[in-house]
Chain A
Amino acid sequence: MNEMNEVRKPPVATTGIIGWLRINLFFNWTNSLITLFVIYCLYQFIPWILDWTIFSADFKYNYLGEQITNQEMCSRNLDPENGGACWAVIYVRFYQFIYGFYPKVEVWRVNVAYVMLAFALLPLLYAKLPYRKYFLYFTYIFPVIAYFLLNGGLGFAEVSTNKWGGLLVTLVLGCTGIALAFPIGIMLALGRRSKLPVISMMCTLFIEFIRGVPLITLLFFGMVMLPLFLPEGIDMDGLVRVLVAVTLFQSAYMAEVIRGGLQAIPPGQYEAAKSLGMSYWRMNLLIILPQAIRISIPPIVNTSIGLFKDTTLVIIVGILDLLGIGRGTLADTNWLGLSYEIYFFVSLVFFIFTFGMSRYSLYLEKKLKTGINMGAD
């Protein structure tokens, strides 16, 4: 009787590592062949890429032990057989990549702003932060502080925006664009769903127009046409003009995402709020928007990733963001021909930011269990 009740173990071939390998890699003949082929390709490729990026690469010194100051001193240019990537260009130009041409004496201000940005983002990203309310107050006043820190004023020496560059410009454009587009997007989304035909039509036209043209034409609009629209004497800063274009662009996409959230709110919520005698604005602010925004956070993060990547387009109108600094470095005769190293580095920086954001959006999606995605990129 006892022996009958004994539970038999599953076959060795279906559990543990062997089972996993069998099911996932060697399920049948074709599968095994594919696996072996892929392993062979990886075996050829991975050692080569590791060798190029790390083992035979120069970081600060070449293989003769000299500190590299220009491309001729890179190991691979001294001896093509002996050397991989020349990361020294990143090392030498690191300051420009991070701060642009910001004066060295004042650079502590940028560093303070970077640290403060991290603190300002903290309560937005992490809902369970202790004392979140007080952190949020800081988030609200952060843009003002950052403006005076970076631009000058209030006793700080002025640093004109044409000295800004690199990661600084990328982050300023990305963060400001997203932060400004959020309220404008909400207004546009509410406007598009408004019962007043004129307002709804105007918002719809605006959103569809912006979504129908490429960002680059809006940047040209900001650079070439905006100065013509303004009266004499008002001279807009180049970065501000680009920011206007980026914000307009992002707010249209943000509006569509938030509209998707608004559409997901059951009509009962509206009816209940109205039956309590709430006005249009009270109903939206207290009942509808908090729910709509909550469910549209993952797609909002996704459009923000898109904007962050699109900030690179500003190099076409002559603003030096991270990619712009990279191209500028390549145009320097000292660093000619190091395009792979520079583009690799710039890609890596962007990848870290955007991949981080997309992982965060996935985490939120899981947490909210909404899984709504409006196909935004």
Chain B
Amino acid sequence: MKETLKRCWQTVLGVLAGFFGVQSEARRERDFREGRALHFIAIGILLATIFVLFVILLVRWALSLGGA
């Protein structure tokens, strides 16, 4: 259980690194050694959705500040 959670967290970190565009060699090797492609795709889609929602919230917040 703990192992699964850890792996899940590592996948999330890997995907986030992909969003950010920077990753270290060691982590990348771990991603490719231990990760499952399907997990990366699933979490990637999930995080992309969260990212879109985050930008929408950001826009709403900017609009409320801007008084529009």
- Do these two chains really belong together in a complex? no
List residues of chain B with CB under 8 Å of any chain A CB: none
List residues of chain A with CB under 8 Å of any chain B CB: none
